[in-house]
Amino acid sequence: MKYIKSIFTLALAIIWTYALHNSWGTLPPLGKLMSPFHGFWVNAEAPESGELSEENLQIPGLEKTVTVVYDEMGIPHVFAENDHDLYVAQGYLTAKDRLWQMEFQTHFAGGRISEIVGEKGMVSDQFQRRMGAVYGAEKSFEGMKEDPKATETLQAYSDGVNAYIESLTERNYPLEYKLLNYAPEKWTPIKSALFLKNMSFVLASGTDDLKMTNILRKYGKAVAEDLFPNYPFVESPIIPVGTPKDFKPVPIPESPSDFIGLGSAMKTPEKDPNIGSNNWAVSGNKTVSGLPILANDPHLTLSLPSIWYQMQLVAPGVNVYGSTMPGTPNVIVGFNKNVAWGVTNVGSDILDWYQVKFKDASKAEYWHDGKWKKTTMRIEKFNIKGKASFVDTIFFTHHGPVVYLSHEKPFKSNIPVGHALRWIAHEKSQELTTFYKLNRAANYADYTQALTYYSAPAQNFIFASNEGDIALWVNGKFPLKSYTQGKYLLDGTDPKADWTGFIPQSHNPHAKNPVRGFLSSANQSSVDPTYPYYMGWQYAPSERGRRINERLEAMSKITMDSLRGLQNDNFNIRARTLLPLLLAKLRSPAGGVYGQAVNELQRWNLQNAADSKGATIFENWVLLLHEAIWADDFSADENVPMNSPSMDRTIKMIQDEPQSAWWDNVKTKNKKESMDEIISGSFKASIDTLVKKHGPFGSEWVWYKHKQTGVRHLIPGMDALSRLNIPTGGGGTIVNATTTKTGPSWRMIVELSKEGRPKAHGVYPGGQSGNPGSAHYDDLIDTWAKGELRSLLYLEKPEDATGRLRKKIILSIKK
């Protein structure tokens, strides 16, 4: 009896402890996590005292001593005596603030999330790998290794990250490791390549070829080309119209034979269309200082920890400040003594699909150019937490990976089955070299030389120098295509459908010091139709670009502050055209909430301000109007996903085609709707939804409460570590492009100086530290939400007279 009691109580204690030592589903290991000696309590950091504190750290791999000073925002300014130590320090310091994020994002990129979260990460992991993420990273790593400087940089960065990882014990792991119950692994240089490749996923993996083919199959070529034109009706292209061409175009390849693919797939979620960015540079003759000012705000998914990490990197031959991306060395967007640069995404078509004809079920051979050719195979192994590992085979044609076989269900609705993927992200590349050289660029020639190494994701690189130059290169590797090649799914058996070469880099669209005195980009069409090469048919809507260009045209005596105003511009240029058209046709039920809404729209100043009710009504109406016009024709069957025509095309139809057959809702039998009915019906429906959502017309209808901008933690659903319901204005087609989940992820304005003392301001919606227990976790969000910027501290030496430094760390060699 006594034995039984002993064993029972001991078993109880052991079971209890075992239960608290492990995670159960989404429940974290409570014992480990809550222990004040081991768990999250250890991650709490006291705020800085305001006094300058000093610390000495020893890290292996350094050649000389490195001095680091942190300013009041927690931004490290790194002073090293050579490049090697500079990048060891960058890796170490970035990991110190952002280790979990660096590892999580590269795990995601490499299709390894199921190692952390188990089977539920599997479909996304398989998608990443089938799209060739790891294959592409390996290729790009090969390219990087051809530049000895890039190799050294990557290795030093990796050594720095590992030095930090090795300094950790379980109790001081970043919080997320404790929540998800796993441990960091060793960093390797290829992870930097994976991170960079993932930017192509984020920015350049959008593909409508399947949806366009489905339209082609249902409505025929004439309708597809009419509703989905290859150039917008209203546009203000990035390269100013009339910019002289300084190159002799190479011949364009012959068009492939006509082909109508099989099309079709299943329905699942897709990429957020609101990712886009703004940048511009104004030349000295438009500024008060007489020297160029450059501004950039790349729009990405807003996240905590932020995608960006600010740093100043100083060593002989380099003194650069800007935003880095945790996971890769160098500054990505920033400035040095002489130049400043920034980026926005290019919406060119660098991803095509080829319908594959396999010989038999073995998939060992496929038909191309009149003969059977051999496929190659790549084996991918998945280690799934709590499950047996899984081995997957990917088949490659000479185009690229067959992402899904004909019988498989795709992860996203826009991915065709039975097609091989040809994607620029699979090319060997040297992006690192570009950023290494940009960090050290002194003038326009250095900048253009740096750009020759860059392939993907293609960016509009804006540039300004203290020699007075402003420039913009639409830069990346662009396939040399016949007109509209790859707008629809391509025939994988037709050699004329292959990519046969690339647009020579020196022919990439570019402009320098234009007469108008400014250059800008906001993801709109790169060029006007006189550019000799075909780059793509679909870019971001023109609104942001048009508004920026119209403002910069009108502005003079420009200062950093007036450009800050432009970054935060909330003017709804679409409403300026569209609202009067709609109000003229509107037959609204009189009185009540409908009357109040019409009144509000008539009084609206067309600003998507945070507290605007007009913006809420207009944006919701446009959304429902677009759906009312097109959903019956283009979203009828969820197994046959299609694009809907753009707002540019829709506005054209409202203006010029009131009798168009598209106005009719084909779902209502025996009734033919007119344009006015659709406009009025969608207005009533949109007001009804607003009442349902926000109650009677009143203060709950203000734009920011409707829009619900949030900066969310990278772990989905982790609201406790997120900042939600942030009061900001803007919108997807507004210069201040802040939407529910996306927005300006880094705002920077730089004024260059002849003496090499640039002035700069910047902010991003987050904070330097990735630790939710640090005061620097989200301390910049309020500044960002208010549309303000912080002055950026650009130091010559690790001292500052203005008292902004808070912490000094001496990194010395660990023997």
Residues that bind other proteins in the complex, under the rule CB under 8 A: 2-3, 5-6, 8-10, 12-13, 16-17, 20-21, 30-32, 34-47, 170, 175, 718-721, 772-775, 777
147, amino acid identity: D
CB–CB of 236/383 below 8 Å? Answer: no
412, amino acid identity: K
284 vs 721: CA distance, rounded Å: 44
641, amino acid identity: P
Smallest distance from other proteins to CB 11, Å:
8
CA-wise closest residue to 355 among 180, 217, 170, 250: 217
Smallest distance from other proteins to CB 778, Å:
9
Cβ burial of 243 (10 Å; 0-12, 13-18, 19+) is: buried
Smallest distance from other proteins to CB 27, Å:
10
Query: Is 47 or 316 the residue whose CB approaches other proteins more closely?
Result: 47
740 vs 205: CA distance, rounded Å: 21
**Look-up of token digits 């826009």:** 414
Smallest distance from other proteins to CB 28, Å:
9
Smallest distance from other proteins to CB 129, Å:
32
Query: Is 361 or 720 the residue whose CB approaches other proteins more closely?
Result: 720
Reduced to 3 states (helix: H, G, I; strand: E, B; else coil), residue 633 is helix
Query: Is 91 or 766 the residue whose CB approaches other proteins more closely?
Result: 766
Give the pair of three-digit tokens for residue 588: 């609204």
Smallest distance from other proteins to CB 763, Å:
20
Give the pair of three-digit tokens for residue 38: 């081991």
Smallest distance from other proteins to CB 145, Å:
41
Query: Is 35 or 289 the residue whose CB approaches other proteins more closely?
Result: 35
Query: Is 178 or 706 the residue whose CB approaches other proteins more closely?
Result: 178
CB–CB of 195/332 below 8 Å? Answer: no
Smallest distance from other proteins to CB 36, Å:
4
- The residues with which 744 forms a beta bridge, in sequence order, are 299
Smallest distance from other proteins to CB 310, Å:
21
Query: Is 10 or 623 the residue whose CB approaches other proteins more closely?
Result: 10
Query: To which H or E segment does residue 379 belong?
Result: strand 376-382
Smallest distance from other proteins to CB 194, Å:
30
Give the pair of three-digit tokens for residue 301: 């998914």
Query: Is 34 or 266 the residue whose CB approaches other proteins more closely?
Result: 34
For residue 680, CA distances in Å to 80, 368, 597 come to: 66, 53, 13
Cβ burial of 12 (10 Å; 0-12, 13-18, 19+) is: exposed
CB–CB of 475/526 below 8 Å? Answer: no
Query: Is 48 or 673 the residue whose CB approaches other proteins more closely?
Result: 48
Query: Is 46 or 391 the residue whose CB approaches other proteins more closely?
Result: 46
Query: Is 27 or 241 the residue whose CB approaches other proteins more closely?
Result: 27
Query: Is 175 or 282 the residue whose CB approaches other proteins more closely?
Result: 175
Query: Is 20 or 405 the residue whose CB approaches other proteins more closely?
Result: 20
Query: Is 34 or 234 the residue whose CB approaches other proteins more closely?
Result: 34
Query: Is 45 or 272 the residue whose CB approaches other proteins more closely?
Result: 45
What torsion, rounded to 10 degrees, do the Cα atoms 227, 243, 552, 735 define? 30
Smallest distance from other proteins to CB 198, Å:
27
Smallest distance from other proteins to CB 302, Å:
18
Smallest distance from other proteins to CB 368, Å:
54
Smallest distance from other proteins to CB 169, Å:
10
What does the angle CA 679 – CA 683 – CA 685 come to, to the nearest 5 degrees? 120
Residue 787 CB partners (closer than 8 Å, separation 6+): 564, 567, 568, 728, 736
Smallest distance from other proteins to CB 18, Å:
9
Give the pair of three-digit tokens for residue 553: 């045209």
Query: Is 583 or 718 the residue whose CB approaches other proteins more closely?
Result: 718
Query: Is 285 or 708 the residue whose CB approaches other proteins more closely?
Result: 708
Listed in sequence order, the DSSP H helices in 308-412 are: none
Residue 286 CB partners (closer than 8 Å, separation 6+): 517, 518, 552, 555, 556, 557, 558
**DSSP H helix total and E strand total for the chain:** 21, 28
For residue 670, CA distances in Å to 658, 662, 667 come to: 20, 16, 10
For residue 747, CA distances in Å to 39, 214, 293, 325 come to: 36, 39, 13, 15
- Chain Cα centroid distance, residue 106: 15
Smallest distance from other proteins to CB 745, Å:
22
For residue 669, CA distances in Å to 13, 219, 632, 681 come to: 70, 20, 12, 17
Give the pair of three-digit tokens for residue 188: 């390797």
Give the pair of three-digit tokens for residue 790: 């912080």
Rg (CA), the chain: 28
120 vs 384: CA distance, rounded Å: 9
543 vs 524: CA distance, rounded Å: 8
Asked, as a colleague might, if the bond just before 765 is cis with ω within 30 of 0, I would say no
